[in-house]
Structure 1
């Protein structure tokens, strides 16, 4: 099959070359008609032009017929070639003899059909036609010599013949070399197409996603696995899109830019990100959140004008879920141990410290007892946060009306934290219902409001709770304050247990809040989005986002 394809390609090349010679033949016929017609007008009598008009017209008609045949009847290539060569040699020979033989200088016209034979015919056949032309020229010179015509030299015809032999041999060898190179190029091209087809099949069948991107996050290639992981539904063959065009993929874009600007040269560095799969065009969604492992590899090629990077995408959501189950099991055993082994001694320490504080008179003793009391309270709060995880199994399956729930929660929060009226602004949430355990959602929102109250300016609407629906099948609750955004360095560890930037915090509040959200099929995250600052400028700001799976 490969040989047949190469042979077909070679035949197409031969036919195109033959068509070129046919066009050249028509041009030569037209030029000859114009030339001899001009001489006839001038009254030149050196040539018997009148007797040659029929031959010129016939030759021009045959040239057109040969051209049409090479285009519309591509069969019997050798037969067509031989017929055209014989007509060319016959016409040129008649013109050569009529014009006076070698003296006319028209012997050079033989080079046209002979060159065509050298390019398109085998060497033996091309040399045969050279021999025929040489015999015609020698015969014409011998005839004139027998008739005692002056200024006749057979050596001139012999020199023409020798020159034709040399030229045709060189042209034939060069043409054969070019044809061989073309066949080799066609073979390499076919092998490359087969390899590309294999690569596409392997990449399309891979379980891991593959993205080929440029420095501006433009995607040049994307396999089906990557589309599934990212929740996209691209048309077949579409690659002219950018990762930054989809807000849900900004975490991938941020990880890619961070890798590009890294100076340690670790080209195989991996990153773990979480994305909310969703197609902005179709609204197609998959899971609420997908945990992805990204590995970046730079494409290095000396001849590559632009940088390319391959991003290997692996879905580790299932692995994370399994790890989560193991973590919850361990946490359950830990909470039971803490409840029995730590809380009771801690209560005894707190009671003893309070008794000592009643009799303490020395300021130093009071200060030390206060330190003991503060740390007892902190440890007790840490135990309370850990014990909250044990209540995750008690989920509430009934739909919860979000508006009245948040209004009641804010009334209690304002009263318990002495929040001035108007500081916390609640957006409209008429008729919105979600599936979330009320106790769990209360703990999550109170935790977020406590953090916001710590950093907000305290002005009117400095803390905002808004409901956003970026997709028809997704609902988000935003909790945002007008304080400074969390730095990317802190953001990377924000939801890790026991990580805190406050001397009075336990580092478990946000961790517990995220675990409670996951237990209710939701997701808690901190995102950077464009928004109006306090001065009215459009700049990126941070906010906590609770993503509910579906609207109820």
Structure 2
């Protein structure tokens, strides 16, 4: 791999680091040779008697040259190939002088040629590395040939030839290995650059996404989240935390834990108002949000790190938009519904009553009862629609919750013929709320009616109790020990004309929420359960009042 070919910045940096390593190795070798000279001179033998002065001066010059090369490489990172060529040429020249001063091939210093040749094979093109090997080989062969004329002993020509062959073999092998490694590094650098670009694109997409995204561990520890997720959860910072550490986010933690235990990968939760300006995770949520959660596992190699992704969608806006569209259509219908629907219904009901006096057969009676039930159902739907137009001007006034709930329980129990202990009313104390009394009665009657339909009928199977949320606002919880509402039904719970009962109109809960909104309150259904021990309730309706 030729260093002048186009390379990535990472590969070029690797070449310069390798050259700096070559400089450090050169300094170490020169110092070792000086130590070798000192030890040999102390024993008065070896080449120190022959060329010790030349040897020592050459080693000192070599150390100084190595320091100079190291400084140049550190300070001036230009002309890589020229710096390398100069250093290799100096290495071969110095080693040749030491080779001569030590007595030629018998000194064993020919192995020092492998150091610059290996460096050239790694950092220089193959042609330049082979040229360096040929210079070293020619010098070794020339020195052995010269010994023929000046020495009585037979020079080791065969050893010199084998040394030259080793030089070329080392250069070829090391050059091929280095080229392969450099190619792999260049490929890794390109893949790394592509990965960084892809990560930047993903970061832009995730940050700009309208849905919230959280990356969490198996213990609920949040590693990262996009701005939409922080906005939905009311988080002010990017600090890491566990979902269970924030009380307001416990519904999300419970839903995640339920999914880990093989529950459905989609659910709905309500995150209530919360604020914490002093804790490790600062944040504030001014309004409760209703979130649709989806979970997905991250496939990691060999399961090294268990990661999951929580996708959050704020469905409150979607629900409100759907309701507003239906309300707009319903508003156009309301103007004519009194005359166009109620009058025919009255006529049908009157005719049914007259027919019931003349027809007494079981088949006729059954058919008339079906007609009467459906007339009553349509009339109830008309009444609910008309109530929507009559709720525009609420008479909000302070309502003492304790007395109001006690009176409502007595009236509702008597009207529906319930046992007195079936409905439990929690202690409201001196708390008061601003709400139109008639509207609040209608909302609670609707919620209690639904609770009676699904509750078990045991003592305190229906519970109504007020609490304070994290921001000091009064909440009224209505829950029963029935089977609860599935996430699929929860997605459409407050939509007009949506019902799961054959006898319902689908307007009760919608009207209840509209009445709450008209009084500045909020009605929602949440799955979080923190009621009294022994009370099995999978969810509850929550009315949040204004302060």
TM-score category (smaller protein):
0.7 to 0.9
1:387 and 2:383 correspond? yes
Structure 1 counterpart of 2:148: 145
Aligned to 2:279: none
The alpha-carbon deviation at position 383 of structure 1 amounts to: 3.3
Distance 2:529 2:314 in 1: 29
Q: How many residues align?
A: 524
Q: TM-score, normalised by structure 1?
A: 0.75
Partner of 1:22: 23
- Superposed CA offset, 1:452-471 (max 9, x none): 56747675897332132234
Instruction: Provide the C-alpha distance between the structure 2 equivalents of 1:349 and 1:259, rounded to a whole number of angstroms.
Output: 56
User: Which residue in 1 is equivalent to 2:164?
Assistant: 161
SS in 1 for 2:528: strand
Query: Could you say which residue in structure 2 is the equivalent of 1:266?
Result: none
> Which residue number in structure 2 is paired with residue 401 of structure 1?
398
Query: Which of the residues 67, 71, 96 maps onto 2:70?
Result: 67
Separation of aligned partners in 2, 1:162 and 1:208: 68
- Distance in 2 (alpha carbons) for counterparts of 1:167 and 1:4: 23
Any idea what SS the aligned residue of 1:466 has? Answer: strand
Seen in structure 2, the aligned counterparts of structure 1 residues 430 and 392 have a Cα distance that, compared at 3 Å, is farther
Distance 1:407 1:467 in 2: 16
CA distance in 2, matches of 1:69, 1:538: 80
Contact 1:291 1:317 in 2 (8 A): no
Q: How many Å apart are 1:190 and its aligned residue?
A: 2.2
* Alpha-carbon contact 1:22-1:63 (below 8 Å) kept: yes
Q: Structure 1's 137 and 409: CA in aligned 2 closer, same or farther, altered over 3 A?
A: closer
> In the alignment, which residue of structure 2 is the partner of 1:320?
322
Whole-Å Cα distance in 1 between the matches of residues 381 and 403 of structure 2? Answer: 24
Q: Could you tell me whether the CA contact under 8 Å between 1:453 and 1:463 is conserved in 2?
A: no
Aligned partners of 1:456, 1:403: CA distance in 2, in Å? 30
8 Å contact 1:517–1:524 — kept in the other structure?
yes
Alignment partner, residue 486 of structure 1 = 484
- What is residue 526 of structure 1 aligned with on the other side? 525
3-state SS of 2:529 partner:
strand
The 3 A distance-change label for structure 1 pair 379 and 248 is farther
Aligned equivalent of 1:340, options 332, 339, 343: 343
Q: For residues 317-352 of structure 1, what are the alpha-carbon distances to aligned partners after superposition, in whole Å with 9 as ceiling and x for unaligned?
A: 464144332453376365665432224543665688
Q: How does 1:259-408 map to 2 (within 5 A)?
A: 261=263, 273=268, 275-276=270-271, 281=276, 282=282, 284-285=284-285, 288-290=288-290, 311=311, 313=313, 316-317=318-319, 319-326=321-328, 328-329=330-331, 332=334, 337-343=340-346, 345-346=348-349, 349=352, 380=376, 383-384=379-380, 386-393=382-389, 394-396=391-393, 399-403=396-400, 407-408=403-404
Kept in 2: contact 1:466–1:477 (CA 8 A)? yes
2:2 pairs with 1:31:
no
Task: Supply the distance in 2 between the matched residues of 1:507 and 1:145 (Cα, whole angstroms).
Answer: 115
Q: Does 1:468 align with 2:468?
A: yes
**Contact 2:236 2:283 (C-alpha < 8 Å) held by counterparts:** no
What displacement does 1:312 show?
A: 7.5
Segments of 5+ residues of structure 1 without an aligned counterpart are 263-268
Contact 1:389/1:515 (<8 A) preserved: no
- Let me know the Cα RMSD of the aligned residues: 4.8
Normalised by the length of structure 2, the TM-score is 0.76
Cα offset, 1:440, TM superposition: 1.8
Distance 1:391 1:200, change over 3 A: same
SS in 2 for 1:529: coil
CA offsets, 1:336-393, max 9 Å, x none? Answer: 654322245436656886x89xxx9xxx99xx99998999689647734651332223
Assess if the C-alpha contact under 8 Å between 1:89 and 1:113 holds in 2: yes
Give the equivalent residue in structure 1 for 2:413: 417
Question: How big is each residue's C-alpha offset from its partner over 1:217-263, in whole Å with a ceiling of 9 and x where there is no partner?
Answer: 666654434544x2533535x6765599653863994799399656x
1:547 to 537, 544, 547: 544
Counterpart among 201, 207, 218 of residue 204 in structure 1: 207
Identify which range, 88-97 or 4-13, moves more after superposition.
Answer: 4-13
- Quote how far apart the aligned CAs of 1:545 are: 0.8
Match of 2:145, SS state, is: helix
Cα pair distance change 1:54/1:125, threshold 3 Å: same
How far apart are residue 17 of structure 1 and its match? 0.2
